[in-house]
């Protein structure tokens, strides 16, 4: 199983705190953004997110 991580700029710090925990637990994840506290989630389009997620939900 692979976990998709995404947040807007307000949740960026919390998303970054989750990454080491997931790694320590041996879980795979993909960071879909945002890439900084200043970057808006608007840059991550629905189509981009949908492309990354599995078809079976």
Task: Kindly report the pTM of this predicted structure.
Answer: 0.63
In a domain, 57, yes or no: no
Which residues, 6+ apart, have CB-to-CB distance to 43 below 8 Å?
Answer: 33, 34
Provide the number of structural domains found in the chain.
Answer: 1
**Residues spanned by the domain of 27:** 2-52
pLDDT on residue 39: 63
The answer to whether the beta carbons of residues 32 and 5 sit under 8 Å apart is: yes
pLDDT on residue 12: 87
pLDDT on residue 17: 95
- 9-53 pLDDT, tens digit each: 788 899 999 999 999 999 999 888 777 776 665 555 555 666 666
């Amino acid at each position: 199983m692979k976990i998709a991580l995404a947040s807007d700029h307000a949740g960026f710090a919390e998303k970054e705190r989750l990454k080491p925990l997931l790694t320590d637990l041996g879980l795979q994840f993909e960071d879909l953004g945002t890439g900084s506290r200043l970057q808006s989630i608007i840059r991550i389009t629905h189509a981009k997110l949908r492309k990354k997620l599995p078809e079976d939900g």
